A and B are shown apart, each in its own frame.
Chain A
């Protein structure tokens, strides 16, 4: 009787949880915890508080996974509108931290509304395309583009390039999966490329310089190039098998900035080498593959475009982060998913994960 109760509880607990996704994320978080520990143990250890963040994230994921996609759909418009309002408020009364106006004071704490858009944006666009599924016209794509560009502009204005990239990418993936014609995609790429020289001439000198530094960090070794120079040294000196856990000299001698957050990959890479990097990339690839599999089998347009967008967002995070730390992409504030320290980003990621699990577990129900 009692055993039965436990059995039922267990079933209830795992009913909507996707095994493969969970395993992959657990392994990633294991790496993440070890790396956060290595990056912070000689100062103030953050591993424990990161573990708490992860538990909170898992709870959020579990809760979201219980909700069928139809219910999620209801949140789309209110969440999006709330996000926009908060962004406007930030623009008007936000708090400036380190030269960027990203925060909204709430008396006891402050929140970063742009974070909401990471989920609200794909949700809103997915809802929108789902609504007009029967007769998608070009103007629907145009309106979707507008829905994307307005908050994107507000975020970029803060400025928060990292979040803008993530939100923009998430929105674009929805539009892409909704069937944005290839001609338009190619047309946009061509237009963008040909506009670049004109934009270049319109930029201020300091803006150009900033872009040049992004391309060649050694041109400003003590300024913005410093991070990249030090992180590439960390990665390169890690070699094939790394210097060993807790043994990274670049890390422990504080040459790597933001080493437990955005630059955690440099720490990991220095201590684990090419082998560790390959395993990490493989894990992300598995995560994405599983996400895409779930998406491909999803039963509604809403679930498909949302799932596709969330899955590819994981890719965006991972690729942009590893790309910038290894010096092939400009430095923007993007965390490495499930590795970087930080509660907010983790919760957002788990939220996405929960949605994917919800899509997966409620697929049959819908079909039936």
Chain B
């Protein structure tokens, strides 16, 4: 080996070896550079598309621009729900190490109350990880300026201009309009199911109840996007493109807010519900449930005190009684029973019965309301005077399944299909219903005796004020039932195009016109000379009506004296009406919880509503209860 090194002595041979090594090195260099070029080719040609995408992903961030939520108007254009812009102070928790210290620091510049902190904490628990949460909303200009001067102290905190929902009329019609609130997990599932996830990227509020909920996807609009170039720190450097958001559609309602307000005021402090329908379209003119609540409380995240107050109140203001409360219809059931009798040929208008004051069934006395009875009673009188015995007999003659079939065709006992969620079905009793309702076989059997109290709207009967109003409207409209609805038309805010909600006839009941006339005439009689006469004394229009009283507390054999019973045990008062009698423009159902006799408390409310709607007459204060019970009021 070392011998070879002797060749180093020879200059030329040493130079040859050296030059060989130079050549070898040159070859190695070329090879190495070829590898590099190969690598570049692979990255820049073969994988070019992939890396271009990676680079784009790196630099472009889509920032959603929340659209303006659609406005809600009543039929006259009164604004019921709108948006206003306000500055909020928002914190992105993921960017902040010590939240409490940051909030304490902010509190030195901007007023932050303990309730703001509590609300922030609550939202923090519910929030998605990366969103920014408001610690204060509705900042004054001065507060915005003060924060701007100190913002360098608070990374992760910013002032944002946000749109807030506002309900200018406050608690009026709040059950119909509903409210919006922050999106929670359940809402996210709904959004996902409707394939709206992308559209809700920047949205943090959603309709929770009422129309705000039902028409959420109409009102929401289309979220816009701003393509923003960001640096490696995630800061926006410049805007690349902007797709403007499309504002949500506006809703114009069938509701008449003045009518609604009058109806709500008519209830005063009393609990209850009122539904007024335009019979020829199914459009709802007023949808009242008292007490109401102020939806503005919810918009910003309701304070827990407010929520407790609303939720724990014995008056249960959050319950929409018009759709959700099911009440026995009491005597308001009678006109429909009479119509059923005529249609089924069980009675003729002139056919009379004798009422001794009770109906004997299997040794049991079903009491009439009037001691000693009404004497000879035909159909007209049975309605005008609200004779129970007539209907005890009629129910017995018809049988429960005939009653159920007829009342079912009117829509009683099933959801009306109004455009608000959360409607109750109510209870339409029948043999089949009882089988479904009860588990034990001995309870499943229908007893003939049970049919008798159903005849006067008691027993298992339970319907929502909405269903009753729909039934009245069906009668007023001569058997054509329209789907009740609150939205008249939807306006596309971009094109101004109006999509009318066409009145949708659900069923046409082919009742004989003379039968309809008989019933209507009797109901007109109620308001002229019957149980509704006092409430409708001196009315400048002809109206049909029927009082009703629904038992809450069962009295066995003793006299019912309202004054002796606690208020919550008093009967519910009901009244149904339509007017004008010859060509009804409005049909309604009124319920006053624990209002006692229908004629006393429910009928005056109906009068006020009809007076305003037909005559434009404004009432003075809430409807007064009739203090002296009439002689011949129903059971």
Contacts and interface: CB of A to CB of B under 8 A. Distances in A.
A327 B237 CA distance: 28
Interface string A283-321: 011001100100110000100100010001001000100
Contacts of A277: 37, 40, 44
Given A177-B21, A269-B40, A274-B45, 14 more contacts: A135-B8, A137-B2, A181-B4, A236-B54, A237-B48, A239-B45, A250-B58, A253-B232, A254-B233, A285-B29, A308-B21, A312-B29, A326-B39, A328-B35
A278 B229 CA distance: 30
A273 interface: yes
Given A232-B51, A236-B50, A285-B33, A249 B58 contact: yes
Given A249-B58, A292-B25, A328-B39, A137 B51 contact: no
Interface string A233-269: 1111111100000000110011100000000000001
A10 interface: no
Given A255-B232, A285-B29, A235 B19 contact: no
A292 B43 contact: no
Given A250-B58, A253-B229, A295 B22 contact: yes
A133 B47 contact: no
B27 to A, nearest CB: 11
B50 to A, nearest CB: 7
Nearest to B21: A177
Main secondary structure, interface of B, reads helix
A173 B29 CA distance: 13
A308 B44 CA distance: 33
Interface of A: 133-138, 173, 176-177, 179, 181, 183, 230, 232-240, 249-250, 253-255, 269, 273-274, 277-278, 281, 284-285, 288-289, 292, 295-296, 301, 304, 308, 312, 315, 319, 322-323, 326-328
Contact of A274 (B19, B29, B44): B44
B58 A308 contact: no
A253 B41 contact: no
Contacts of A323: 36, 39
A255 B58 contact: yes
A239 B48 contact: yes
Which 9 residue pairs of A and B lie closest in terms of their CB atoms, listed nearest first?
Answer: A236-B51, A237-B55, A236-B43, A253-B231, A274-B44, A237-B51, A239-B48, A255-B232, A233-B54
B22 A296 contact: yes
Contact of A238 (B4, B21, B44, B233): B44
B30 interface: yes
B33 A233 contact: no
Contacts of A177: 18, 21-22, 25
Contacts of A295: 22
A41 to B, nearest CB: 15
B466 to A, nearest CB: 59
A66 to B, nearest CB: 26
Contacts of A254: 231-233
A322 B36 CA distance: 7
B26 A289 contact: yes
B19 to A, nearest CB: 5
B36 A181 contact: no
Nearest to A238: B44
Nearest to B9: A134
Given A183-B1, A236-B51, A296-B19, A253 B43 contact: no
A190 B501 CA distance: 87
Given A136-B8, A177-B21, A236 B39 contact: no
Contacts of A137: 2, 5
